[in-house]
Structure 1
């Protein structure tokens, strides 16, 4: 049974927001663009979010093709996605920034070598559009009506719009939130990610166990 539009919309927004986590990207964005002018920062923010939007929509639309080519079932992806999300959520609860951690040498090298492409790597990929976000849109796109799929696309656009705003105002946001506030927010998001992970895991495991045990749906 497909979820209602409101339920699915909340699921999409919550899942994507916690996977992308715009607040955690802000300090990395500041460090990577420290040598750029304000107008250049705006260009980088716009290019990064637009690139992430194209990538997420692409994987949402081609997810079923990927399943067919590699013989992957949506139930298997839900189980793997659940495990992946749980690990990510656990790291967030521990207030670890492993997904967005760069040492200073790597940051300076990225700025020097990719001054014009920093919006693509590492901002768009993998910071904004990482494995968790890609797996999320593929899972949410499967076995849904056209209306639900449109809600997913709108949710992707909405979350990336928030991400774009967070990048534009990264400096005042980080000054106001502070390190302690960022850790508290990350822990709360981590709990949400872990709950979503459990739901994904058992949503994939349940039909597989029914097939194994011969129990009708």
Structure 2
């Protein structure tokens, strides 16, 4: 039971600070524009489901994929940090009305086709906006710490599955009620939160990249 609850708690505690869905929610709104509420709710469900499978795949299969291609975790962190930092920098330097929001509003007018909804729910919303390379690196790290004893592996695996489910539920709730958060904050508060979220995203990207660089420098010193 101790192994089960430990794994159940470790997964959300490790992933949620990196995912930071509360901070990403304003960015989600800026990219969806004046999307109809039922469609936005459906999009939030799809994003949460996509994130669930991405995290499960990273935890249970990620380490084997990296070994197959000969890619180390520090390299993943460096590349992920660059991607996340660039996304944060772009959002931080948007002038006036958010460009992404304007482009979405102009091209879709609040309605998306089912196929377009399915595509956009994965890219860019699920990956890399929500589950970015940094989150994948953290998930792969969790997977490498799974016990080798079959019974313990099964217990930890089930607990990790439930932990990812809880994490995905938090993502869904944050995106589902993002519009309510925007109404509560008002236009000025939403803009401030968006810029703050973009700055946090930039800082997270730099931190992820620096962690990868530090690991690579540590490997060079050992050699």
TM-score, reference length from structure 2: 0.67
- Give matches, 1:28-177, under 5 Å: 28-29=31-32, 31-33=34-36, 38=38, 42-94=41-93, 102-108=103-109, 111=112, 114=113, 116-122=114-120, 124-132=121-129, 133-144=131-142, 145-146=145-146, 156-177=164-185
How far apart are residue 72 of structure 1 and its match?
Answer: 1.1
Superimposed CA distance per residue, residues 48-88 of structure 1 (whole angstroms, 9 cap, x where no aligned partner): 42233223322443322331232211111111112222222
How far apart are residue 177 of structure 1 and its match?
Answer: 2.4
RMSD of aligned alpha carbons: 3.8
How far apart are residue 29 of structure 1 and its match?
Answer: 4.6
1:89 and 1:193 map into 2 onto residues whose CA distance is 5
CA shift in 2, pair 1:75/1:42, >3 Å: closer
CA shift in 2, pair 1:213/1:146, >3 Å: closer
170-179 vs 75-84, which deviates more?
Answer: 170-179
Q: Does 1:22 align with 2:30?
A: no
1:180 and 1:53 map into 2 onto residues whose CA distance is 33
Q: 1:186 aligns with which of 168, 171, 194?
A: 194
How far apart are residue 12 of structure 1 and its match?
Answer: 2.1
CA contact 2:36–2:110 (8 Å) conserved in 1: no
1:203 and 1:149 map into 2 onto residues whose CA distance is 27
Count the aligned residue pairs: 204
Unaligned 5+ segments in structure 2 are: 1-5, 148-155
CA shift in 2, pair 1:68/1:182, >3 Å: same
1:193 and 1:28 map into 2 onto residues whose CA distance is 15
* Structure 1 moving runs of 4+ over 4 Å: 4-11, 27-30, 40-44, 95-101, 147-156
TM-score, reference length from structure 1: 0.69
Q: 1:195 aligns with which of 198, 203, 207?
A: 203
CA shift in 2, pair 1:214/1:79, >3 Å: same
